[in-house]
């Protein structure tokens, strides 16, 4: 179950244009994921900058990295993506009751 803190961390990671582009690309790539070179080919991000942004996405739990032979494959962590969306929509349209202010109580 996602907490407010974990959700805020995931949203903060996605709140940067480059990281959002990386994450969306990895979502499109599916379970096979992409290595750094492949991400670079699609988005044209400098390797050091890409490493920094991937690290932020990994720290937020949105991306997992798996070493395969000599390369590191990056994949979207779909469970965390779904948990984040579920957290945001879990109380959709349930209504909000206004709490009486201390002055009127």
Q: Where are the domains of the chain?
A: 4-89
Two structure tokens written together for 30: 């599916």
- Helix locations, 1-105, DSSP H: 4-14, 17-29, 36-43, 47-59, 78-89
pTM for the model:
0.87
Question: What pLDDT does 104 receive?
Answer: 59
User: What CATH class has 4-89?
Assistant: mainly alpha
Rounded distance, CA 32 to CA 73, Å? Answer: 8
pLDDT given for residue 2 in this prediction: 80
Show pLDDT as tens, one digit a residue, over the chain (105 residues). Answer: 789 999 999 999 999 999 999 999 999 999 999 999 999 999 999 989 999 999 999 999 999 999 989 999 999 999 999 999 999 999 889 988 888 888 755
- pLDDT given for residue 67 in this prediction: 94
Residue 59: name the closest of 30, 80, 36 by CA: 80
Chain centroid, CA 89 distance in Å? 16
């Amino acid at each position: 179950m996602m907490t407010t803190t974990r959700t805020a961390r995931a949203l903060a990671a996605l709140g940067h244009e480059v990281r959002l582009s990386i994450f969306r690309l990895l979502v499109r790539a599916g379970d096979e994921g992409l290595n750094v070179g492949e991400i670079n080919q699609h988005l044209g991000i400098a390797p050091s900058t890409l490493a920094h942004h991937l690290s932020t996405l990994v720290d937020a739990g949105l991306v997992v990295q798996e070493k395969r032979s000599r390369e590191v494959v990056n994949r979207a962590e779909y469970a965390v993506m779904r948990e984040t969306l579920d957290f945001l929509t879990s109380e959709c349209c349930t209504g909000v009751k206004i709490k009486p202010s201390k002055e009127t109580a």
